[in-house]
Amino acid sequence: MKVLFLNGPNLNLLGTREPEVYGRQTLADIEREVRARALARGIEVDFRQSNHEGELVDWIQQARGSADVLVLNAAAYTHTSVALRDAIVAAAVPAIEIHLSNIHAREEFRHRSLVAPVCRGVICGFGAGSYLLALEAAGMVSA
């Protein structure tokens, strides 16, 4: 099984600011944990981050035929992007939405996700654990 992890805007800043919300780990730290867990499970991982909506759209489109499951922390684009939602539908790869924070316990504008309705499930609020839980969930949604 191959799992593509995509990370959206500003997640490259993890570990540098707002540790009370997002924790102290960097995205590279999280990637290391995901890769270690994946290795133990025999799962292949591709792990990427972009600040650009179009690049994320390109990567989601390319997931068709190259990944079994898409795990997406779309960050702020979660709440705004019809383009990411349409790309997930077009790719027809089972997708899991994840967040470090519990978006429902935060500002009202974070409560709505445009991508959640086209994902198989949503995991949020467990910090870096959301990524590890998504790896477990990937085994439940892959065809």
List contacts with ligand CA2 (CB under 6 A).
Answer: 10-11, 13-14, 16-18, 22, 73, 75-76, 78, 99-101, 103, 110
* Catalytic-residue membership of 22: yes
Measured from the CB atom, is 77 or 94 closer to ligand CA2? 77
- For residue 31, the minimal CB distance to ligand CA2 (Å) is 14
Catalytic hit among 99, 104, 111, 131: 99
- For residue 43, the minimal CB distance to ligand CA2 (Å) is 21
Which of 101, 93, 142, 139 has its CA nearest to residue 119?
Answer: 93
Measured from the CB atom, is 64 or 112 closer to ligand CA2? 112
Measured from the CB atom, is 11 or 60 closer to ligand CA2? 11
How far lies 87's CA from each of 22, 35, 93, 94, 134, in Å?
A: 27, 26, 10, 12, 20
Residue for token pair 């800043």 = 13
Residue 115 φ/ψ region, left for φ over 0, alpha for ψ in the -120 to 50 degree band, beta for the rest: alpha
**Alpha-helical segments (H) within the chain:** 19-22, 27-41, 53-63, 82-91, 129-141
* Catalytic-residue membership of 99: yes
- For residue 14, the minimal CB distance to ligand CA2 (Å) is 5
Catalytic positions, written as ranges: 22, 99
